[in-house]
Chain A
Amino acid sequence: MAKKAIGPVRRTFTPWEDSTATPFIEFQNVTKRFGDFTAVDNLSLKIYEREFFALLGGSGCGKTTMMRMLAGFETPTEGSILIDGQDMHGVPPYKRPANMMFQSYALFPHMSVEANIAFGLKQDRMSKADIAARVTEMLRLTKLEAFGKRKPHQLSGGQRQRVALARALAKKPKVLLLDEPLGALDRKLREETQFELMNIQEELKTTFLIVTHDQEEAMTVADRIAVMDAGKIMQCATPSEIYETPNSKFVADFIGDINLIEARVVSKSEDGTIMDAPRIGCRIDSSQTTTVSVGDTVWYAMRPEKVRIELGETETPEINQVGAEVWDIAYLGDVSIFHSRVGEAEETSLRSTIANVTRLVERPLTWEDRVTLSWGRDAGVILSK
């Protein structure tokens, strides 16, 4: 029996590793100032054709300004933006090969769903028959066949969101810009829509640029993520690279949950680095080689799921192993997060997670249990201060 396809199979796609590939969208030293406030600060970025790219950051980090500059609603104070090799300076929004899906959806309230989708096509003076065919195709793609005659206020939030997507895709843009597209949807619908977006992108082979503050969303949909802060890109890499090897304390802290341990480099070799972490009272042995010199203080960043937690305390602290006391437990259903207090003088806690593989109500670990926390040599990353 054939397996039921849930969508096209995703293939590895890494044009950014190919130094000969020409970028499709290019930001060259772009700066945008609003009065005294610098929203985007001397930023350069290359996005490749057919890529699903995410700009991720907190509010006010400049991600929306980047998108609005690409769409033509804002002009860069300095630097230039290229789409498909063409400098976009002085090109008004209505002549750019990019279409945008707005956060508020921005549907035309006095037009039906069909008229909304047809709006952009009419501006191109397409023939009536062609417009009708394209509208039907877009309605099918976004599963809105039954709602073509409705007005936007007669639709639910999820349907409105799909109309906005259909309208933005109708003109077959070279680039689709998505501004916090799923923010207004509830969690379940959001997850479904994320996969729908990915399938649509795979089908149309259009370059997608998404702006979001939701890291889960960015990690689900995007081929690459640029983490932004204060108008700068902190790290630009694939979701797994960003999660497993963050390049700074900011990125490590921003994406997911992490233990940040202050440590001093004791010795380093080709085989790895040994650090002393007085706050948790043990030595850390890492397989990572580092450029920082011996004696420097660094952050050792370690994801909670990389930390093993076992009942019973070790007598003597060893390398990558420390005794602790369970202090707080957060039960999340699929996993439980344990906050364990380590060290004596100061209160330092390490977080570790356990997947709840059995349906036992009685947990093997409970509050005030003495436990041992341990981790492997490749559990964390060394971040210079």
Chain B
Amino acid sequence: MRNGPSWFNVTSLVVGFSFLYLPIVLLVIFSFNESRLVTVWGGFSTKWYGELFHNKQLLDAGKVTLQVAFLSASIATVLGTMAALVLSRSGRFPGRTIFSGMIFAPLVMPEVILGLSMLLLFVAIDQSRGFWTIIIAHTTFCMCYVAVVVQSRLVGFDRSIEEAAEDLGCPPFKTFFLITLPGILPAVIAGWMLAFTLSLDDLVIASFTTGPGATTLPMKIYSQVRLGVTPEINAVCTILVALVTMGVIAASVTTKRRETQRQRDERAAIAQG
């Protein structure tokens, strides 16, 4: 066997990564373009970032997006965790298969259909559309992602810990908050972050369910791009990319650190016997 990667591995790595990241790199580079023309390099400048902070429309859209993402992620986390608990803890109950199928269906359902059906529902019940209808729609499709993440954690969760708590006099409801929740918290947080991101970048469902005065950032960007890409949009996207990247790095560093600390503790415990 040969050591190190072969030329085939190297090539596929380079091609794969370029395919994934070249467009984003271009976007970042052009956000620092002096020129108003998007495709012509006119020298380095940060002026579009300055202009961005004076563009009230974009800033408002950004605010709405964050509010929607925060609220729908939070509601979806509560509902998704409850669904996961029912699926992994209630054993066999009538309709369990249908319930689990229905919980996970939105994962594979085309967004257009989801958005359209939501729209039809709101029209049918004569609900005026706006900020809250987007939240309801986002909660619906984010919930199933949370349920998947939390359920996978619950499957590996040692039930005897919960039994021990009950055995020591703790009623089941309290046991959930004192014992189960701390145990599955990483998955709940991960589910929340996933829901937050999904809501943040959703365009299709938001377009179907929005109304006057509730424009999210992806919708704003999309409508502006149709009139021509401005460097301001590049700047917004760069900021988004930076935020997401920092989030991911922070999360993985914390996990890694905790893992090493844990391993060190365990080694110490074994060493001193």
Contacts and interface: CB of A to CB of B under 8 A. Distances in A.
A102 B160 contact: yes
B168 A153 contact: no
Nearest to A123: B169
B95 interface: no
A151 B265 CA distance: 9
Contact of B269 (A73, A123, A154, A171): A154
A138 B121 CA distance: 61
Interface of B is mostly: helix
B166 A156 contact: no
Interface stretch (A104-112, A332-340, A341-349): A104-112
Given A109-B183, A110-B182, A110-B183, A94 B169 contact: yes
Interface string B252-273: 0000000000100110111011
Contacts of A104: 158, 160
Given A109-B183, A155-B269, A124 B169 contact: yes
A92 interface: yes
A108 B169 contact: no
Contact of A171 (B161, B164, B168, B172): B168
Contacts of A106: 158, 160-161, 163-164
A39 to B, nearest CB: 17
Nearest to A189: B273
A153 B166 CA distance: 22
A327 interface: no
A224 interface: no
B270 A156 contact: yes
Contacts of B269: 153-156, 159
Contact of A94 (B171, B179, B266): B171
Interface residues of B, number: 24
A104 B157 CA distance: 13
B167 interface: yes
B158 A154 contact: no
A73 B163 contact: yes
B165 interface: yes
Contacts of B172: 94
Interface in A86-118: 92-96, 98-100, 102-104, 106-110
Contact of B167 (A99, A103, A124): A99
Contacts of B183: 109-110
B170 interface: yes
Nearest to B168: A120
26 contacts: A71-B163, A71-B167, A92-B171, A93-B163, A93-B166, A94-B170, A98-B167, A99-B168, A100-B164, A102-B160, A104-B158, A107-B161, A109-B161, A110-B182, A119-B165, A120-B168, A120-B170, A123-B168, A123-B170, A151-B265, A153-B265, A153-B269, A154-B268, A156-B269, A156-B270, A158-B273
Given A93-B166, A119-B168, A167-B168, 6 more contacts: A99-B167, A102-B160, A102-B163, A102-B164, A120-B170, A123-B169
Interface of B: 158, 160-161, 163-172, 179, 182-183, 262, 265-266, 268-270, 272-273
Would you list the 4 A-B pairs with minimal beta carbon distance, nearest first? A120-B168, A123-B169, A106-B164, A106-B160
Interface of A: 71-73, 92-96, 98-100, 102-104, 106-110, 119-120, 123-124, 151, 153-156, 158-159, 167-168, 171
